Structure 1
């Protein structure tokens, strides 16, 4: 697989890269950003996957979150893929809305035309991108964790819960925890997956936990001043299903914080430390 380097920046003695490649699973060219800490010069390092939210690209997180400082300290790499397929021929919301189509892939494998040709972000993130990273960069994809924000928080939780053997931990900022029960999710899942709501459960965090998902270390931060909290994010539903099923998760409600990257940057250090501890613990147990 050919990977083109679009940009490279020295950052906290490591390297922040922006890269481009042809994604077979999405049938389009894709960009992703990758931070390699200074420890990567000495061998493979653990990998954190970051999934961004609606309207974002691979660049928002690496430019706004301030994560590189903490990744360098803990010796972990962070990969930030784009949030949807893009390019000529990739369909978008017919009405040009920001909550569906380009920039809003919802990290699913679409089954409905015309979305099913390109919108296969789940396969891209669980199969194609990890294989590329393991082949071409000094990262250990067997020691991995995943986190994200909003739509990306939904994606991180779902991917981790469906693949518990592949991730040592999962965390999220203001995630969409029950897309089957909110307007953003109903629009996206209805279009990408069709009208049968049973099929939506494979991409619904609360439904997966209710169905008996295996335990993983889980951390969720939710700002209490988030304008999307009640209608779209529905953190209370996650709290309820975890309590009902005995699923252990640390869910922190943060007073005064909204949905922005100011919120993310305030707590990104604790999330990276959380994942670093889980990765170290798994290594000690091996």
Structure 2
């Protein structure tokens, strides 16, 4: 089997599996959490849709599993939730543990091209390819042809970027406080520069604000929530959702990028968990689980 089940946790009405496996993309051991909803045990083959949740800087698969409260929403609608890690761990690259916002815990969902990182930091291909293929092989009740994607902060960027790079793969997309225009903020400049080098045409291949301008494919509404008291939004200007909305004009997504600015909310999982139900309802509609 591809995955080792390190623990099985009964939570709400389903089960959270903490899994690990050896990745061919990252050349490291990777951990991933999977929530199987209450419908899973009695389900038939390929009958449980999937929601892929990408976490933010410094996070592991455990943060959202413990704090976002996707489980009751998954039980309500009948979808599974996959929580990948945010980077390779223990690749042994000099300096990968020196900074909280680059390297370990900060893979930025790209396939690195710089010499130092290109062997291990292949999180784009891992998340959108290898991980899903291997999970589908081991969990035949999960329907990876009916899948949606969401995420927070770096993971919100990763969700938007992955959706826009893969027309028709994901049924819907949403994001919590996403880094919407990484080429224009410090986090993006640091990570794109470190993983992709100085050629900004390579950055544009992952930047949602560039990708949306050239997108051709189905155009479901994009749901975004941002806390107005989030310092990464109002003070540090790391998120830039306004740039994504502006870039959507004249594209199939014009009028469909719904950015909800929430008074008083910050960047934390208190914020995320407060709006999980709205995002779950959004995805359930596109996954064919509700009207």
Task: Give the alignment's TM-score, normalised by structure 1.
Answer: 0.95
Structure 2 residue 276 is the aligned partner of structure 1 residue 264: no
Structure 2 residue 238 is the aligned partner of structure 1 residue 235: no
Structure 2 residue 283 is the aligned partner of structure 1 residue 275: yes
Structure 2 residue 39 is the aligned partner of structure 1 residue 39: yes
| SS of residue matched to 1:108 | coil
Measure how far apart 1:126 and its partner are.
Answer: 1.3
Unpaired runs of 5+ residues, structure 1, are none
Residue number in structure 1 paired with 2:228: 224
Residue number in structure 1 paired with 2:157: 154
Structure 2 residue 64 is the aligned partner of structure 1 residue 61: yes
| Aligned mates of 1:151, 1:109 — CA distance in 2 | 15
Q: Is the 8 A contact 2:164 2:215 kept in 1?
A: no
Task: Give the alignment's TM-score, normalised by structure 2.
Answer: 0.93
Residue number in structure 2 paired with 1:23: 23
Deviation digits for residues 210-243 of structure 1 (CA, Å, limit 9, x no counterpart) = 2234323311111111100142001111121123
The 1:265/1:177 distance shift into structure 2, 3 A limit, reads same
| SS of residue matched to 1:114 | coil
Residue number in structure 1 paired with 2:87: 84
Q: Is the 8 A contact 1:55 1:99 kept in 2?
A: yes
| Aligned mates of 2:91, 2:54 — CA distance in 1 | 23
Measure how far apart 1:206 and its partner are.
Answer: 0.4
Q: Is the 8 A contact 1:36 1:78 kept in 2?
A: yes
| SS of residue matched to 1:266 | helix
Measure how far apart 1:64 and its partner are.
Answer: 0.6
Unpaired runs of 5+ residues, structure 2, are none
Q: Is the 8 A contact 2:160 2:173 kept in 1?
A: yes
